[in-house]
Amino acid sequence: MSSDDLTELSLKLNMEEKNETELEQIEMELLLNGIHQYYGYDFRNYAVPSLRRRIWHHVYAEGLTTISALQNKVLHERDCFERLIFSLSIPVTEMFRDPQAFLTFRQKVIPLLRTYPYIRIWHAGCSTGEEVYSMAIMLHEEGLYDKARIYATDMNSRSLQQAKEGVFDIKKMKQYTKNYLEAGGTRSFSEYYTAKYNSVIFHPFLKKNMIFAEHNLATDRSFNEFNVIFCRNVMIYFNDELRDHVHGLFHESLSHFGILVLGAKESIHFTSFSEAYEALDRSEKIYRKIK
């Protein structure tokens, strides 16, 4: 092949690649617009790389070969839409995830909460509830649970159902016990659950002040005023615009001196609300609203 032929071939391949990328972008937009218009779920401002990966994964999982084919199936079959929501929602979680963050919360935030007559906590994007039961255990050990209400929300109804049941895989208890102790747990972790076959069920007293509800951070509004908001490992999947929108929602929903807890890879910096908070603990991403 002459060098002219090679150049022409390379140009052709580049053009094909460009066309495919353009087409993929159009198909993604059509899929996300369709879901938004038909089902009211808004994924249009999720970060593209992970969204794209998950959509393609789902295309193949449904036995399809194009995003357009997925759009057709999602719009015509509600079950397919439910499955897509589940795979887009990334429900990965743990009890006392990042134990150091829970330990710091216990050391720096619990003393502040002790001075309040009642405590309202919102776990936004609570997934299957591990974070919420961790909070209930910590408040119980600190003698604060009776005056607390924990609002646990997620857009994913399947995850929420599991959270309400409080049933978890027994295999995970070894890791969760380790996390609990590192997070400053003061008892034997097994006091909090009963094992049954391959699962454990957490004691119902932990659920008595929990309220579970579907809430979508992209489309739903503020619904109460809170002393603490936990939103960990949720906004990493959002683009800057949606992240800012959600920070607006949290700012509106936090009382003065309210506490915002973000995930290990998240930060209030580089958002429009960075000036509205001071860091109670910068490395554990625990902030206090000051404006």
Q: Which residues bind ligand SAM (CB under 6 A)?
A: 89-93, 97, 125-127, 131, 154-156, 159, 216-218, 232-234, 263
Smallest separation, CB 199 to ligand SAM (Å):
19
Q: In terms of CB distance, is 83 or 147 closer to ligand SAM?
A: 83
Smallest separation, CB 56 to ligand SAM (Å):
19
**Taken in order 150, 155, 156, 157, is the CA torsion positive or negative?**
positive
DSSP 13-48: HHHHHHHHHHHHHHHHHHHHHHHHHHH----TTB-H
- Please name which of 213, 228, 70 lies closest in space to residue 129, comparing C-alpha atoms: 213
Smallest separation, CB 84 to ligand SAM (Å):
12
Q: In terms of CB distance, is 127 or 209 closer to ligand SAM?
A: 127
Task: Tell me if 252 sits within 8 A of 289, measured CB to CB.
Answer: no
Smallest separation, CB 214 to ligand SAM (Å):
8
Q: In terms of CB distance, is 131 or 284 closer to ligand SAM?
A: 131
Q: In terms of CB distance, is 147 or 172 closer to ligand SAM?
A: 172
Smallest separation, CB 90 to ligand SAM (Å):
5
Q: In terms of CB distance, is 126 or 183 closer to ligand SAM?
A: 126
What is the distance between the terminal CA atoms of the chain, rounded to a whole angstrom?
Answer: 68
**Taken in order 185, 190, 196, 199, is the CA torsion positive or negative?**
positive
- One-letter-per-residue 3-state SS of 5-22: HHHHHHHHHHHHHHHHHH
